[in-house]
């Protein structure tokens, strides 16, 4: 048999591979259990042609190689790899009116929830069923789906593995996708990356993550023991299989302005006010005596791109957030008292570089909780009461949205595996606060979380009103 010329495959670029980093490894462990599926959702009244949308998604994958990657699991070494082909791979899965109706009818919750909301929850929970790692099957990082809600409206969803797309990247991707759709699948003008970027651990500036061995062991032990002292939101059903559900917290423009002004005047960020409102609402829900305090844990996520070496832009895809875990004793404080105290604790942790030095410790404990849920109260896998984001997302692209017929859009991630009772994905859209609050159901019920979120809204609004009187 004639030997194939060596030049036959020279025109075909090879697959590239990279081992996942420590934080990425944690997300690879978390996603099959229900935490870490990032979902970007659009509701369009002027649906684009599917070929144009497909072309736009391929351009995204060309610009960001990690989005066309697959995650490979080697069960002999218990390691994960990003395997990146040279060409785009995503294919849109489209559901017509009848298929969409069947999915909506099979949804097991309140008919008052609108179809777009139901479909978002449906997409968030798909990865718990499909992303199971096997040695012979690689898992795609990105999936795309469209659902015909009625004759005029189309819901578009991108589902991404959080190890490849954190919140900052998701915001940039959403804007880039909208520009591409507006251009009919043409040039979106986003940042183009040549290759899959390094893991966050490989980009931390020299000396920022150093910690003596004994100190690391002491901190891991401290985090573990303190976890047994955390108070949790009451569990409704800790035994049944879980899904991620969503409740929305929204303020009007005037309420939002007063809230932001109140934060600014005190030198704190919105995340501190949201976390404080969540803690106060949880404490009140327990109907405790005024003198009885409870200790709540708050996870604050920080986009580290500006702090890395080299600095990355927000458009670079990957997971480049770190977490700071703080605990607070709550016993009848006002919103601004607790928000100021919690933000001061967060700033102190930042000043000691704990977002870098404690990264390996928190990743280790997250993986231990995944492997041993019994180490958490009622095997709930709850690591905190609430998680918030340090950075504020502001979107004032109303003109382009009207041009596209964009009626609604959300970005959030599943959290019914390991994680908080309430994961908050906040944004200021055209001057109004819009926050997707993700929770594990039926560990918590929709009625319970809706009541909690409604109370949080009253706390936020009342604190601003009393300040102006």
Does 49 share its domain with 130?
yes
Q: Is residue 206 part of a domain?
A: yes
Region 108-118: what's the mean pLDDT? 77
Q: Both 325 and 431 in a single domain?
A: yes
- DSSP designation for 392: P
Tokens of 322: 């770190």
The domain tally of the chain equals 2
Question: Could you tell me if residue 462 is inside a domain?
Answer: yes
pLDDT digits (tens, 9 = 90+) for 302-311: 999 999 999 9
Average pLDDT, the chain: 89
* 101 domain residue, yes or no: yes
Residue 131 confidence (pLDDT): 58
Same structural domain, 299 and 170: no
| Same-domain pairing of 131 and 209 | no
Tokens encoding 178 = 């909208």
Count other C-beta atoms under 10 Å from residue 250's C-beta: 14
Query: What number of other Cβ atoms are within 10 A of residue 68's Cβ?
Result: 24
Question: Looking at the structure, do residues 66 and 215 belong to the same domain, yes or no?
Answer: no
229 and 93 in one domain? no
258 in the same domain as 118: no
E strand spans, 219-377 = 243-250, 294-303, 321-330
Q: What is the distance between the alpha carbons of residues 313 and 459, in angstroms, rounded to a whole number?
A: 35
- Tell me what percent of the residues of the chain surpass a pLDDT of 70: 88
What is the CA 274 to chain-centroid distance, rounded?
Answer: 16
For residue 41, which of 152, 125, 119, 148 has the smallest C-alpha distance?
119
Which segments of 96-153 are extended strands (E)? 139-140, 142-148
Ramachandran area for residue 184 (φ above 0: left; ψ -120 to 50: alpha; else beta): left
**Of the residues 150, 182, 214, the one at which a domain ends:** 182
Q: Are residues 211 and 166 in the same domain?
A: no
pLDDT at 184 over 80: no
Identify the domain boundary among 134, 154, 182: 182
Angle at 38 between CA 37 and CA 42, to 5 degrees: 130
Q: What six digits make up the tokens of 440?
A: 């594990």
CATH number of residue 135's parent domain: 3.30.559.10
pLDDT above 90 for 224? no
Residue 189 lies in a domain: no
Task: Give the angle 285-419-225 at the CA atoms, nearest 5°.
Answer: 85
Q: Identify the residue with better confidence: 176 or 225.
A: 176
- Residue range 421-442: average pLDDT? 96
Q: For residues 250 and 388, state if they share a domain.
A: yes
Which of the pair, 78 or 119, is modelled with greater confidence? 119
One domain, residues 283 and 150: no
The answer to whether residues 394 and 276 belong to one domain is: yes
Residue 455 lies in a domain: yes
Specify whether the backbone of 185 is left (phi greater than 0), alpha (psi in -120 to 50) or beta: left
Range(s) of the domain holding residue 148: 13-182
Task: Kindly indicate the confidence band of residue 136, based on its pLDDT and cuts at 50, 70 and 90.
Answer: low
- 287 and 362 share one domain: yes
- The confidence score (pLDDT) of residue 375 equals 87
Domain CATH code at residue 242: 3.30.559.30
Q: What is the mean pLDDT of the segment spanning 185-194?
A: 66
Residue 252 lies in a domain: yes
- pLDDT, one tens digit per residue, over 317-361 is 999 999 999 999 999 899 999 999 999 999 999 999 999 989 998
pLDDT of residue 4 exceeding 50, the answer is: no
- Say if 291 falls within a structural domain: yes
| Pairwise CA distance, residues 407 & 291, whole Å | 47
In a domain, 223, yes or no: yes
**What is the biggest distance separating any 2 CA atoms in the chain, rounded to whole angstroms?**
91
């Amino acid at each position: 048999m004639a030997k194939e010329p060596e030049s036959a495959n020279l025109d075909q670029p090879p697959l590239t591979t990279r081992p996942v980093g420590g934080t990425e490894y944690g997300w690879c462990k978390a996603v099959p259990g229900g935490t870490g599926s990032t979902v970007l959702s659009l509701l369009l009244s002027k649906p684009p042609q599917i070929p144009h949308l497909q072309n736009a998604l391929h351009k995204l994958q060309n610009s960001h190689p990690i989005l066309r990657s697959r995650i490979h699991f080697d069960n002999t070494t218990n390691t994960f790899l990003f395997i990146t082909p040279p060409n785009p791979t995503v294919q849109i899965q489209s559901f017509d009116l009848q298929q969409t109706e069947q999915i909506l009818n099979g949804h097991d919750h309140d008919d008052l929830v609108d179809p777009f909301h139901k479909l978002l929850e449906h997409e968030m929970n798909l990865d718990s069923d499909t992303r199971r790692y096997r040695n012979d099957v690689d898992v795609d990082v990105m999936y795309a789906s469209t659902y015909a809600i009625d004759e005029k409206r189309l819901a578009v969803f991108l589902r991404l593995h959080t190890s490849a797309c954190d919140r900052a990247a998701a915001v940039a991707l959403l804007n880039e996708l909208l520009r591409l759709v507006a251009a009919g699948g043409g040039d979106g003008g986003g940042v183009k990356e040549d290759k899959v970027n390094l893991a966050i651990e490989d980009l931390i500036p020299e000396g920022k993550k150093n910690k003596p061995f004994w100190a690391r062991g002491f901190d891991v032990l401290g985090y573990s023991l303190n976890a047994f002292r955390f108070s949790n939101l009451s569990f409704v059903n800790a035994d049944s299989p879980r899904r991620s559900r969503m409740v929305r917290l929204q303020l009007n423009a005037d309420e939002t302005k007063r809230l932001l002004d109140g934060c600014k005047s005190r030198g704190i960020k919105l995340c501190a006010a949201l976390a404080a409102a969540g803690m106060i609402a949880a404490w009140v829900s327990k109907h405790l005596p005024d003198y009885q305090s409870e200790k709540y844990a708050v996870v604050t996520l920080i986009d580290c791109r500006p702090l890395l070496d080299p600095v990355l832009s927000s458009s670079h895809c990957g997971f480049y957030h770190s977490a700071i875990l703080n605990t607070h004793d709550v016993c009848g404080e006002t919103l601004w008292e607790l928000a100021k105290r919690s933000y001061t604790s967060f700033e102190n942790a930042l000043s000691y570089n704990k977002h870098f030095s404690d990264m390996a410790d928190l990743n280790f404990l997250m993986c231990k909780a995944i492997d041993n849920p019994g180490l958490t109260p009622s095997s709930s896998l709850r690591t905190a009461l609430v998680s918030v984001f340090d950075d504020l997302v502001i979107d004032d692209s109303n003109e382009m949205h009207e041009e596209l017929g964009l009626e609604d859009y959300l970005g959030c991630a599943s959290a019914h595996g390991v994680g908080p009772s309430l994961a908050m994905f906040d944004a200021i859209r055209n001057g109004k606060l819009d926050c997707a609050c993700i929770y594990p159901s039926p560990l918590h019920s929709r009625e319970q979380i809706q009541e909690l979120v409604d109370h949080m809204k009253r706390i936020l609004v009342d604190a601003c009103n009393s300040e102006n009187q």
